[in-house]
Amino acid sequence: MSGTRMAEELVGLYEEEKLHAVLGRAYGFAALAYSGVRDKERATEYAGLSASYARLMHGDAGEDVRRMRELEDDVQGHWSWGRRG
């Protein structure tokens, strides 16, 4: 199973089970997976969702918020870009 498929499955399971407290992490994994296969649109989408959920859990200064904003702002310059494909 590909990394992006596993990420989508994880997000779907978390959404289905209403595990909102950890959904931000699942979105983060999906963002990294899509960045890894050079899918800028999906990586940016999931990075934004991840940052939004992380902000709810940890506030604006949270480390996860900062990391996902970095990915969202410069996907192609992020360390994860193209790592899987």
Inside any domain, residue 68: yes
Inside any domain, residue 84: no
* Confidence at 28, pLDDT banded by 50, 70, 90: very high
* Confidence at 85, pLDDT banded by 50, 70, 90: low
Overall domain count for the chain: 1
Buried b (16+ CB within 10 A) or exposed e, 52-79: ebbbeeeeeebebbebbbebbeebeebe
Helix orientation angle between 63-73 and 40-58, rounded to the nearest 10 degrees: 160
Average of pLDDT values for 46-64?
89
Reported pTM: 0.82
HSE-up (13 A, CA, CB side) for residue 26: 19
HSE-up (13 A, CA, CB side) for residue 12: 6
